[in-house]
Structure 1
C-alpha cells in the first residue's frame, strides 16, 4: 500500500457526498437512526452491517456528517478472480476506481486471518475506518447468512471498536423501484462493541472464538435490522 493511499478515497468520497446524500434522501427517503452512538468515538472504527444490495456500501458514508472524522471509509471486497468477466475483474477488484474508492480485497483460501486481512489491519492501525459485511457477500434470499470470523479477528487484532449497523429495504431494490420512490431505506447505527466484551475477556483466542464472536456481532446487527 502506498504511503498516501487514503488521499484518493478522501477526495472522491468528499466530492460525491452532497449529491449522493441528496439523491438518497429524495428517491429512497434515507433515514438514519443512532448517530448519538458515535459520540465519543475516536478515529479508527470498524463498521459492520448486513449486506443485501450493491447499494449498501455507499449508504453509510452518505449517512455520516459531511467531512466526518470517520471518513474516508475503507472496505473489504472480493479478489478479482471472483469475477468471471474480464471487465468486471478490472473494474471491481483490481481497478483503479475501486482502489480510489477505498476498497481492498480479502485474500480467499489462505486460512490465515492475519495474512488475508493484511491491508485492512494496516488501514485500521493507521486509524482509518473500515466498513465490513460479516456475511462475506450479498444475501440471495433476503435472510442473514452465517458470519465469517474475520470481523471479530480485526477487532481483537487492532483493539478497535465495532459499530453494528442495520440496513433495511435494500433487498431486491431495482432501479425502477429506486427512481419511482417505491422504497424507504433506514440505516440504524448501534452502540459500539469492544473486543473484551465480544470475547468475554478471554486471553487466549482461538479460531472458534473468532467465529462465535462474529456471530455475536451479527446478532446485534439483526436487532438493528427492520425487515421490509
Structure 2
C-alpha cells in the first residue's frame, strides 16, 4: 500500500514527458470534449426516453480542476451514465478504470468503454501502468471515475469497498465526489445483454476533502475508504427515494 502511495506522489511530482510506457492501451486517457459531448447528448436522449434518468445535485461536479468521482457499481451502464451526466451538466468528461479481462472478452462492455474514456486495468495484478495513467488524468486537471467495490454487484446490493479509492485520495489530496446510483441493476444486471426499462437516478454528493499524506497508516486508509463508502451508500439510499433537487437528463 505504501509503495503505491509513494508511486503516486512521485508521479504527481514528475515533469511528465514520459511518465510511463503506454502499454497495450495507449492514448485512452482524454478524448476531445466535442466528441464526448455529442456522445453524451445521444446517451442522454436514450436514458431520458427509455429510463427517465435523473441527475440529482449534479452541481456538485466541479466546474474545473481535478477530482475523483466514486460510485457504487451495479451495471456496465454505470460509467456510461456518469460520463453522460458530467458532460451534460458541466461539459466535463470522466475517465474510468475498466477491468482488462472483461474489456478483452465482452463485446458490449468494450463498445461502452470505447464510447467514453476507459483505462483497462489488470485486476489481479499491481497494474503500475494503469495507476500512472490515472495520475496523469488527474494531474492534467481531469475527472477520474472509480467504483470502489472493484466489480459489479451480483445481487443489487452495495458490496465492500477496496482501498484503491482511499489510496488515490490520500496520495493526491484531490477531492472525492461520491455518487449513489439506483436503477441500473434492474436495467442491465450481470449476464444480461438487453437493457430493460427501469427508473435510473444518480445522486451526487458534495466533495469530500482529505489532506494529502505520503505515508498514511493502514488505519487511516481504512477509515477514508469506509467514509467514502458510507457516503456512497447514503446517496444511493437517497437516489432510491428520488429526491426532488435534480437535473433531469
- TM-score normalised by the shorter chain: which range applies? 0.7 to 0.9
Q: Could you tell me whether the CA contact under 8 Å between 1:188 and 1:225 is conserved in 2?
A: yes
> Residue 69 of structure 2 corresponds to which residue in structure 1?
47
> Residue 74 of structure 1 corresponds to which residue in structure 2?
95
Q: Could you tell me whether the CA contact under 8 Å between 2:61 and 2:90 is conserved in 1?
A: no
Counterparts of 1:36 and 1:7, CA distance in 2: 22
Cα deviations by residue, 1:27-66 (Å, 9 ceiling, x for unpaired): 1111111123335x53211100001111111111222354
Closer/same/farther in 2, CA of residues 11 and 91 from structure 1, 3 Å limit? farther
Gaps of 5+ in 1: none
> Residue 159 of structure 1 corresponds to which residue in structure 2?
173
Task: Tell me whether 1:185 sits opposite 2:204 in the alignment.
Answer: no
Alignment partner of 2:39: what SS?
Answer: helix
> Residue 16 of structure 2 corresponds to which residue in structure 1?
none
Closer/same/farther in 2, CA of residues 46 and 18 from structure 1, 3 Å limit? same
For normalisation by structure 1, the TM-score amounts to 0.78
Task: Tell me whether 1:104 sits opposite 2:126 in the alignment.
Answer: no
> Residue 157 of structure 2 corresponds to which residue in structure 1?
143
1:171 corresponds, among 178, 182, 185, to: 185
Alignment partner of 2:153: what SS?
Answer: coil
Gaps of 5+ in 2: 1-21, 189-193, 242-249
> Residue 212 of structure 1 corresponds to which residue in structure 2?
223
Counterparts of 1:176 and 1:110, CA distance in 2: 32
> Residue 232 of structure 2 corresponds to which residue in structure 1?
221
Give the drift of 1:210: 2.2
Q: Could you tell me whether the CA contact under 8 Å between 1:108 and 1:116 is conserved in 2?
A: no
Counterparts of 1:176 and 1:192, CA distance in 2: 31
Between the two proteins, the alignment pairs up a number of residues equal to 211
Give the drift of 1:4: 6.6
Task: Tell me whether 1:14 sits opposite 2:37 in the alignment.
Answer: yes
Q: Could you tell me whether the CA contact under 8 Å between 1:107 and 1:117 is conserved in 2?
A: no
For normalisation by structure 2, the TM-score amounts to 0.72
